[in-house]
């Protein structure tokens, strides 16, 4: 199937490229090669955002139409925290931020394998309040978009 036909939160393996040599070289420089696994984070008719090795990469719809992928069946769905709705929960899988913002998010308790739940959203949707480690934390949607969670994972 073409990457443009994928669904958000799905995990896929790249099979082949039908792009120009320049685009293929650029994608390869970004680490996007045949055989690698990617997660489609967001998608619309203009393009999408994929996650590869902790890096978010935006792709135009025309480029996504030229990449063949195969879906990898997973037990869990990985999505960014900002995509969760009130009442949904998950486990932190990865932090996509870099530098000081990454350190700040981790200092607030957002570390790998931490269970969290979305408690409420502000009237306009930003910020969002999450419950983790026994306390409530408010995050802007922009920051929450950099935290990737395994959706629906319950505490053990």
11-34 pLDDT, tens digit per residue, is 899 999 998 999 999 999 988 999
The predicted-structure confidence for 99-133, as pLDDT tens digits, reads as follows 999 999 999 989 888 999 999 998 887 889 999 98
Confidence of residue 41 (pLDDT cuts 50, 70, 90): confident
Residue 37 contacts by C-beta under 8 Å, 6 or more apart in sequence? 11, 12, 13, 52, 72
Contact in structure between 39 and 80 (CB atoms under 8 Å): no
Q: Tens digits of per-residue pLDDT, 60-107? A: 999 999 999 998 876 677 888 888 888 888 899 888 888 999 999 999
The yes-or-no answer to whether 3-72 and 77-151 have a common fold is: yes
Fold topology of 77-151 = SH3 type barrels. (2.30.30)
For domain 3-72, which CATH number applies: 1.20.58.110, 2.30.30.90, 3.90.226.10, 3.40.50.970? 2.30.30.90
Per-residue exposure over 129-147, b if at least 16 CB sit within 10 Å of its own CB, e if not: ebebeeeebebebebbbbb
Domain range list for the chain: 3-72, 77-151
pTM summary value: 0.59
| pLDDT above 90: residue 138 | yes
């Amino acid at each position: 199937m073409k990457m443009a036909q994928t669904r958000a939160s799905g995990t896929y393996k790249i099979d082949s490229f039908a792009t120009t040599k320049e685009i293929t070289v650029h994608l390869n420089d970004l680490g996007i090669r045949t055989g690698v696994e990617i997660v489609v984070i967001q998608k619309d008719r203009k393009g999408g955002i994929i996650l590869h090795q902790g890096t978010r990469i935006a792709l135009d719809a025309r480029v996504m139409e030229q990449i063949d992928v195969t879906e990898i069946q997973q037990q869990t769905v990985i999505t960014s925290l900002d995509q969760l709705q009130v009442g949904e929960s998950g486990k932190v899988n990865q932090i996509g931020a870099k530098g000081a913002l990454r350190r700040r998010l981790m200092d607030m308790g957002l570390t790998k394998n931490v269970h969290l739940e979305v408690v409420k959203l502000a009237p306009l949707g930003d910020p969002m309040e999450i419950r983790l480690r026994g306390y409530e934390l408010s995050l802007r949607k922009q920051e929450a978009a950099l935290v990737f969670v395994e959706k629906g994972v319950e505490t053990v």
